[in-house]
A and B are shown apart, each in its own frame.
Chain A
Amino acid sequence: MDNMYVLMMGFLSVVIVNNFVFTKFLGTCPYLGVSGRLDTAFGMGLAVTFVTALSGILTWLVDYYILVPNGLEITRYVCYILIIAGAVQLVEMYVRKFFPALYRTFGIFLPLISTNCVILGICLFINIWAIDNLAEVAVLSTGVGIGFTLAICIMAAIRENLALVDVPESLKGAPITLITAGLLTMAFMGFAGMIK
């Protein structure tokens, strides 16, 4: 029971209170770049969620059972990158086979998921937070992906409407998106301090 409570709180924490996009600025590139349309943003979010969950678990397993017992921590970043690239390759093949329409919409952005900071970010933070059981790792890394999906979906919905608004000439495009993101962050700050 106690364990369940910790897991649930951890999940809520990374989805809402400590959302990676809003509080740690990870994944701001796709957040500002591709989130022009809601359906694409949602698909992108799901792909990222799958990769974070997979690579979060795999990196933790490799770290815990191979790198640390053998004193190979120095190769940690190289191993993480290899695992993430492998996971992204897997997702790319899967999407191409089963969702060809979605695959065409993503275009170049799909292979670029491997350079998405959210994914390497969660692998590193799991390491920094020194989490030592697999269930928690799985919940946290899935939660981070869902938090990212939430963030880019909100942003995409706002940007769909932003296209119709009269914005000062020099603020069009990225600047107004960043300012909007700032205001959004402020809204999410209301949750700060609720957990952890």
Chain B
Amino acid sequence: MAESSTAKIDYLSALTAGLWKENPTFRLLIGMCPPLAVTTAVKPALTMGLCVIFVLVCSNVAISLMRNLLKPHLRIIMFTLSIAAFVTIADLYLRAFSPKMSEALGAYVPLIIVNCIIIFRAEACASKCNVWVSILDGIGSGTGFTLALCVLAGIREILAAGTFFDYRVMPKAFVPWAAMQMPVGAFVTLGLLLGLATLITTKRAD
């Protein structure tokens, strides 16, 4: 509820923090299940990311509005219940308008409910800040998460199938790496990307 002269900077930092400095996947290492599970191709990864942005923004708004009514010991359950409601909306929407994608993502859409990112943002930001900051924070963190998902999915899709967003980018002679499609590819690629992220931050700090 920063209504001082620094309010403008607060809004800006709420939006941009999630992109790199507090990027959920690369910097905070939370919500690691979808980055590993749905990144075999860019399309499902992007859909997943958009679902998470929607749920994150909606739940941040709802929690920010009721933040003064929350009792400490009932906090977490109220968070998860409101998240579950919005995930149901996203799931039904996806099932109605994009049944193929809904089938491809399967149980991972309802599993957004237990994605740590959303509860973490609710706890760290929405339960303390006003609605506008919470919305910006939701958009920022959600976008950071989506970008991380797409980078990982891009690498895996190019190496596993030679395509990017279903368009062929590699020459015909390219031999696909089958391992990239499997769980092994997910773990190792994410591990190396995290290493790269750590390298960049330490280089910057020097």
**A→B interface (CB under 8 Å):** 22-29, 32-33, 74-78, 80-82, 85, 111, 114-117, 119-121, 124-125, 128, 168-179, 181-183, 185-186, 189
Are B184's CB and A182's CB within 8 A?
A: yes
Q: How far is the CA of A151 from the CA of B198 in the complex (A)?
A: 26
**Which of B29, B182, B202 is A32 in contact with, Cβ under 8 Å?**
B29
A117-B114, A179-B188, A182-B188 are contacts. A77–B88 as well, Cβ < 8 Å? yes
**B119 interface residue, CB < 8 Å from A?**
yes
Q: How far is the CA of A177 from the CA of B29 in the complex (A)?
A: 12
A25-B33, A170-B195, A170-B198 are contacts. A185–B184 as well, Cβ < 8 Å? yes
**Which of B84, B185, B195 is A175 in contact with, Cβ under 8 Å?**
B195
Which of chain B's residues has its CB closest to A23's CB?
B183
Which of chain A's residues has its CB closest to B31's CB?
A29
Q: Which DSSP category, helix, strand, loop or mixed, fits chain A's interface?
A: helix
**Which of B29, B91, B182 is A174 in contact with, Cβ under 8 Å?**
B29
**B→A interface (CB under 8 Å):** 29-33, 36-37, 76-77, 80-81, 84-85, 87-88, 91-92, 106-107, 110-111, 113-114, 116, 119, 182-188, 190-192, 194-196, 198-199, 202
Q: How far is the CA of A29 from the CA of B88 in the complex (A)?
A: 23
**Which of B87, B106, B192, B196 is A179 in contact with, Cβ under 8 Å?**
B192
Are A29's CB and B33's CB within 8 A?
A: yes
Are B114's CB and A120's CB within 8 A?
A: yes
Chain B residues within 8 Å of A22, by CB: 183
Are A128's CB and B107's CB within 8 A?
A: yes
Are A179's CB and B84's CB within 8 A?
A: no
**Which of A28, A74, A75, A78 is B32 in contact with, Cβ under 8 Å?**
A28
**Which of A28, A29, A115 is B80 in contact with, Cβ under 8 Å?**
A115
